[in-house]
Amino acid sequence: MLSTVIEIIDFRKQDLSYQKENENIMFELIVADLLRRVEDLCRKGISKKYYDTEENLSYVKGRILIKENLKYNLVYKNKMYCRYSDFGPDTVENRIIKYTLYHLSQIYFTNPDLYRKAKRLLHYFEPVSLISYSKFPTIIFDKLTFHYRTIVTLCDLVISNSSLYVEKRGEVKFSSFLVDMDKLFEKFVYRLLESNLKEKGLCKK
C-alpha cells in the first residue's frame, strides 16, 4: 500500500542484507530510495529558474521597495531595500531537498552508508538556501519541475512522519517512523480511483 501511495518506491533495488531485525526497516528503505533518486537528479543536474529575492543592499538592484526601505533604512541612508529577479538553483523544490538531506545527514542509521550518502549529496545543494520548514509549502509542478514530484513527495513523507529528537550534545537521531494509517488509506484510495478514472478517460492525465 505504501508503495502505491507514493507511486514509486522500488524495494528490489535496496540492499536488505543489513536490515535483519531492524525495527526501522521501513524508514531506511524509504530513505535509501529517496537518496537514490536525489543522486540521479544531481547526476542530471538540479533545476534552475528565475525567482524573486528581497535584500537590503548598499546599491540599487532591481526595484526599490519603498515601504520596506523606510522601515529598515530610516537611519542607514547608505542602504536600499530591493526586490530583484535572479536565476539559479535556489528554488522551493531544491530547498525542500536540502532541508531533508540536512536532517538525514545528522540521523543515526543502521546502515551508515545512508548517513554518508546524505552528507555527500548535500554538497550539490550548497548554492541553495537552508530554510527550516514547519510544513512544506504546496508546490504546483510544471513541465520543467515535474520530475521533482516523486522526490518532494518522499521528502514530505520522511520529514512529516518521522519522529526526531535532539540530544543535549546536539546530535539528531532517529527514534521512530510514524505513519497515520487513516491518512495513508485515504491517499491509497484516492490514487487508486485516480488511476482507474484515467484508464477510462474520465480524468485528465
Structural domain boundaries in the chain: 1-34+90-190, 49-88
Q: How confident is the model at residue 19 (pLDDT cuts 50, 70, 90)?
A: very low
pTM, 2 dp? 0.67
Close Cβ partners of 179 (under 8 Å, ≥ 6 residues apart)? 2, 26, 161
Which residue has better confidence, 95 or 203? Answer: 95
Q: How confident is the model at residue 29 (pLDDT cuts 50, 70, 90)?
A: confident
Burial category of 49 from C-beta neighbours within 10 Å (exposed 0-12, middle 13-18, buried 19 and up): middle
pLDDT for the residue numbered 194: 67
